[in-house]
Chains A and B, each alone.
Chain A
Amino acid sequence: MRNAITIARKELSIYFTTSWAYLVFTGMLLVSSFFFVAMLESFKQVQQMARAMSWARLPPDWAMYKNLTDGVIVPLWGVVMIITLFVAPFLSMRLFAEEKRHKTFELLMTSPVRPMEIVLGKYLGGLAAISATLGLTIVFPAVLSIFGRSESGSALEWSTVLLGYAGLLLWGAACMAVGMFISSLTESQALAAFLTFAVLLPWMLLKGLAQNAEEPLRSIVNYISFDAQLQNMTKGVLDLKSIVFFGSVILFSVLLTQRAVEAQRWA
């Protein structure tokens, strides 16, 4: 475990000494701020309309705009989830591909370190990077809780907000695990990023495909779709099934990476 932490620390120091992490942070903050402002704006408009006409005369879908949590934060988490899909491959692509390109993979493999420790170290480093990226978005609910007002005490329902956020972290962790596995298969970072994206995007959109499928295929596809798994969590419903699902995706990816790392020797 000591070795895994050594490797994780090295990963983090490289993320933060190069401009990569900062670029990803900036991208995440810029895009999510844009959506945050847009969502606040539509929230304000609906609220004004409701004040003029009363909620009963507005479409029933708009009921979510009754409070800041459902009206702003829940849809915002949905957007951050999609941004994560775009930024996670940029963070995960270098994990193994870069080691192989710089020939430092040979150093790791000839040091007294087990392949599993290398994989865990890399994954922990990547996990810290994605958590830092997602951590920035906590600023939005914080702003709302400081400046927001509601008729019933606190401006936000923190349990819903944080559960949604935990869902996001799970999603980010799964993206990094899948990205790490793909990075362990190639020497090219660009290819690793592209393949990761090409795997994650359809996986996320599987739910749409499921609509037209027949049972039992439909339930299966629905179950393995990222989107369907995340739906409850982002709405603030604790769903053990999703935790098990994402936990399995992560575990499976880590094990596959370990196999891939060991298999390099047999190539």
Chain B
Amino acid sequence: MASLKDLRNRISSVKSTQKITKAMQMVAAAKLRKAQDAAEAARPYSKNMARVVANLSASMAGQPGAPELLIGTGQSETHLLIVMTADRGLCGGFNTNIVRKARERIVELQREGKTVKIMTIGRKGADQLRRLYGDLIVEKISLRDKKEIDAGIAIDLGKKITDMFEAGEFDVATMFFAEFKNVLTQVPTGKTIIPAAESLSDDEAAEAPDLKGAVYIYEPGQEEILEELLPRYINSQIFFTLLENAAGEQGARMSAMDNATRNAGELIDDLTMDYNRSRQAKITTELIEIISGAEAL
């Protein structure tokens, strides 16, 4: 049986842990709202972009000379997996779930004899993949020093990725991230961004506007517009995904910390019960000692 002092120490230590988790939960809740707003504000751009690119590419696909970013290199030998995770932990299974999803894909691709390259965005993903697939990681990016995610980050990333593609370093690029369903649920997802045609087909936003019989005037040509827009489309996809992931991270952290706070509360209750019981037992023993001492006289 632990002594009273030990119990007292444990109670106070769990109490301070609870204070920390509670504070983290509230911070995550505030950040979550901000992240959600940012994702919401970015939606019109990425939606419009997807729609326009989808329309353009629908009429371009199948034609010779369609850009490779759109239709791919015609093979799928080398895959680039872009694993987007958080830079910090303490957010429940958020990072692990994304990494697991990516790992499943790696195993699958390797079984098919494909070459796999990994780009990690966020430190946690790199940490978890390093042990098994350290030699496959070609690029590690941390967004830790960035205060908030702005379009500039996505443009830099997009450029890096399209440059690699143009240098022939990979054929297919897939992003792994957590799709933000709601605050409590984030679904780990894989999404192909290059060739762009594949990601467009998943996009429900890709619906042609009703032109009422008229035909678009293209300025300059259709091909030039598409070539100019495709990298931007990829950037906007990356940007939106980053925002969504950031919101998911905060949501996951909020619920993880909520659980932790609740568990700490239960633990405190149990410990307090133990403490009181031993205190009473001690008093009873002392009383018995005094009484039997008095009786003996």
Do A and B interact with each other, yes or no? no
